[in-house]
Amino acid sequence: MKKPLKIGNAQGFWGDRPGAAAKLLQQQPNLDYITLDYLAEVSLSIMAAQREKDPKLGYARDFIDVIKSLPDSPCKIITNAGGLNPFGLAEALRAAGCTKKIGVVSGDDVLAIINADPDAYSNLDTGESINGKELATANAYLGAKPIVEALKKGAEIVITGRVADPSLTVAPCIYHYGWSFEDYEFIAGATVAGHLIECGTQVTGGILTDWLSVPNPAEIGFPFVEMFSDGTFIITKPESSGGVVNKQTVTEQLLYEIGDPDKYLSPDATVSFLSLQLKEEGKNRIHVSGAKGKAPPDTLKVSATYKEGWKAEGMLALCGPDTALKAERCGQIVFSRVAEAGFKLERFHVECLGPMLRMAAADHRMPALEAFTKEIAPLVTSGPQGTTGYFSGRPPIRPVFGYWPCLIEKDLVSPEIVCS
Amino acid sequence: MQLREIAYARSGDKGFSANIGVIAKSHEDYLWIREHLTAERVEAHFKLLSPKKTLRYELPNLDALNFVLIGVLGEGGSRSLRIDAQGKALGQALLEMEL
């Protein structure tokens, strides 16, 4: 019987601990693969802004530092850090001295296809049509297949753009065990494994309801799975790391960001969670079985974004009684002062979170946001007594990216794999 | 008594909607929430956030329920002006429900 395949995750999102991959590989040197997830909804919009300024950019530059930090190891790396420019990232890696075989998966960028026929791509949430909005990005969630092809071509590092997060884990399983793309029962198990580890420490004690009970949280370990040839697996973490893996951490992460648990959709399979069984097999080791799989949908999910003006937010601590009343009054003051400067803010939101007053504004006009950001500090001398917590200067004004989820027919999308 | 005495939760975003997983601490607690934690009750708990609709799913193999609150995140994501644009606090908010 083959030894189980060991796949770890060392990044749950762009902003996670930069030293995690090196630490994971040091604590668990026998890992076969490490996945790193860089792309949340807005990440591609941020990369679009970077690429506008410099066409050579549009990827997660910090991935290069992660690769540089790793000890010499046969462990393969699979990541979506390529963002909008996976070839750019591969080139930059080479230029930084990386001698590993690099596979680049592209073809997720479907902006031109959607722009050619915008009426065919209505919003999945609201049913609205695009109606003249100018899209900044549009990327289809590719599946495991192109990653498997890259691995077959000998890639030791696979760089993709937008890919379904669990597919980063499913691909090495298919490649290693020689599953066919129609082995939906096995792929279902690997998809569940990918879903569990894609958010890193969220399955090893992070954001646990009982978080105060998590041991050694400063050293919380990143997770890895031991995948068997039939799609069942054990989820665990390095022995020397902190945190915990138990039925509670695993069940909470199973339910994270899911809709109908009988139809978890991925480009690789439609998975049912309703027969999953969790069994404790030793300390911090949970055996997961029972995933059921069917064919995936004929469409791929697309996440598209469009520029929609600017936003800014400011916070102040209102120490003393009647904070809600004071917060409301401060909000009215700021709104009317910005209006007096000539800008009735298109969107304005005031929150009172305990003693914290938080105001956020959005508008298509940059000068409107500039006026808003200037009206927060004056509350320190004209606002309620006990107002404090104003340290960091005028808040930054950031671009707003509207989110446009839609579906695209699989046969319109052509993934490409280049290995060098 | 609050829901947190008998269950754990975890919430996350899906576009302008959010899901909240509710996991009973024991099988008996699951039988109770299966009977009493209805979609209507959960939707009412979040009425200030104006969800358009609430879907409810049962996972008897895990003693858990999953709620999807359609539209509860308003604009959601980058467009949202709320501090919790991704619904990460909704699980904690639901656990405060008085039983």
Overall average pLDDT of the A162-171 stretch: 98
State the sign of the Cα–Cα–Cα–Cα dihedral A36, A42, A46, A51. Answer: positive
Task: Tell me, rounded to whole angstroms, the distance of Cα A105 from its chain centroid.
Answer: 18
- Under 8 Å CB-to-CB from B8, ≥6 apart: which residues? A208, A209, A210, A248, A251, A252, B22, B23, B25, B95
pLDDT of residue A249: 98
**pLDDT by residue (tens digit) across A46-83?**
888 888 889 999 999 999 999 999 999 999 999 999 99
Task: For this complex, say whether ipTM is above 0.90.
Answer: yes
How crowded is residue B59: how many other Cβ atoms within 10 Å of its Cβ? Answer: 22
Task: Determine the residue of chain A that is closest to B56 in CA distance.
Answer: A260
Query: How far apart (Å, rounded) are the C-alpha atoms in residues A111 and A95?
Result: 29
How close A361 gets to chain B, by Cα (Å)? 7
**Whole-number mean pLDDT of chain A?**
96
Chain B 47-66, CB below 8 Å of chain A: which residues? Answer: 55, 57, 59-62, 64, 66
Site from B54, B62, B69 to mutate, A interface, most A CB atoms within 10 angstroms? B62
Contact between A149 and A175 under an 8 Å Cβ cutoff? The reply is: no
Please give the residue that has the higher pLDDT: either A2 or A10: A10
- Under 8 Å CB-to-CB from A398, ≥6 apart: which residues? A310, A311, A312
CA nearest neighbour of A198 among A399, A10, A12: A12
pLDDT of residue A1: 61
User: Distances in Å between the alpha carbon of A267 and those of A36, A143, A170, A413, B2?
Assistant: 19, 5, 11, 12, 40
Are A290 and B61 an interchain contact pair (Cβ–Cβ within 8 Å)?
A: yes
Q: Among residues of chain A, what percentage have pLDDT more than 70?
A: 100
Token digits of residue A128: 């609205």
Task: Tell me, rounded to whole angstroms, the distance of Cα B9 from its chain centroid.
Answer: 8
pLDDT of residue A126: 87
Are B81 and A248 an interchain contact pair (Cβ–Cβ within 8 Å)?
A: no
**pLDDT by residue (tens digit) across A195-248?**
999 999 999 999 999 999 999 999 999 999 999 999 999 999 999 999 999 999
Q: Among residues of chain A, what percentage have pLDDT more than 90?
A: 91
Overall average pLDDT of the A28-35 stretch: 98
Confidence of residue B67 (pLDDT cuts 50, 70, 90): very high
**pLDDT by residue (tens digit) across B5-40?**
999 999 999 888 999 999 999 999 999 999 999 999
Q: Are strands A277-280 and A286-289 parallel, antiparallel or unpaired?
A: antiparallel
Q: Please provide residue A33's backbone torsions phi and psi, each rounded to the nearest 5 degrees.
A: -140, 150
Are A400 and B79 an interchain contact pair (Cβ–Cβ within 8 Å)?
A: yes
